[in-house]
Amino acid sequence: MARMKFLCDEERCIECNACVTACKNEHEVPWGVNRRRVVTMDDGEPGEKSISVACMHCSDAPCQAVCPVDCFYTTNDGVVLHDKDMCIGCGYCLYACPFGAPQYPQEGAFGARGKMDKCTFCAGGPEEDHSHEELEKYGRNRLAEGKLPLCAEMCSTKSLLAGDGDMVSDLFRNRVIRREGEANTWGWATAYKD
């Protein structure tokens, strides 16, 4: 069975933020919530690198492990989703997530923390496919339409890749071979900078 994965090629990302805009527009994400964002390292210095980050749909998702109400589930194609009706907005998943993917909209008169919202890999949620409830709670379900996430589909430099992990890694491996370089230009020793 396919396992859906994102991969951002830092050699190609030009920090245009079009993926962020596309995601917000496609799913009508509320003000203050960013399901995807672009992170730049050594910004303004020669050799700066940018990557687009969202939920990475982990195979052994820490958010799923820590959720006190177990509102997370993984689909057949490896997409980590959650049921917003069960979510209590406690924020544990945000502490557990290494990518800072879970987001919380402000709700109510005093701006209390609402139910968690995150990247759905454009796969909607547990509601019926293409239903109004699904659209309202989780955004569009592009996977059910036979399409891949919009952020990756419209990436102008094809830096952001999304799809079956095997196909994504094949494509990336070929790129690295063509570049005659290492897959990770930072090197493992500098993966985490000060």
Least separation, in Å, of the C-beta of 6 and other proteins?
11
Q: Which is nearer to other proteins, 76 or 189 (CB)?
A: 76
CB of 175 to other proteins, least distance (A): 7
Interface residues with other proteins (CB under 8 A) are 1-2, 4, 69-73, 75-77, 81-83, 85-86, 125-130, 143-144, 146-148, 152-153, 158, 161-164, 167-168, 171, 174-175
Place of tokens 């194609």: 77
Specify the residue, 10 or 164, whose C-beta has the smaller distance to other proteins: 164
**Nearest distance from residue 103's CB to other proteins, in Å?**
19
**Distance separating alpha carbons of residues 81 and 30, to the nearest angstrom:** 18
Sign of CA dihedral 129, 135, 140, 145: positive
- Shortest Å distance, C-beta 9 to other proteins: 10
Cβ closest to other proteins, residue 44 vs residue 68: 68
State how beta strands 37-41 and 72-74 pair. unpaired
φ/ψ of 20, rounded to 5, equals -65, -45
DSSP structure string for 107-120: ETTTTEE---B---
Kindly report the number of other CB atoms within 10 A of residue 130's CB atom: 12
Least Å distance, CB 102 to other proteins, is 16
Nearer to other proteins, 29 or 168 (CB): 168
Are 103 and 118 in contact by the 8 Å Cβ rule? The answer is: yes
In order of 63, 72, 84, the CA distances from 68 in angstroms are 10, 10, 14
Question: CB-wise, 6 or 104, nearer to other proteins?
Answer: 6
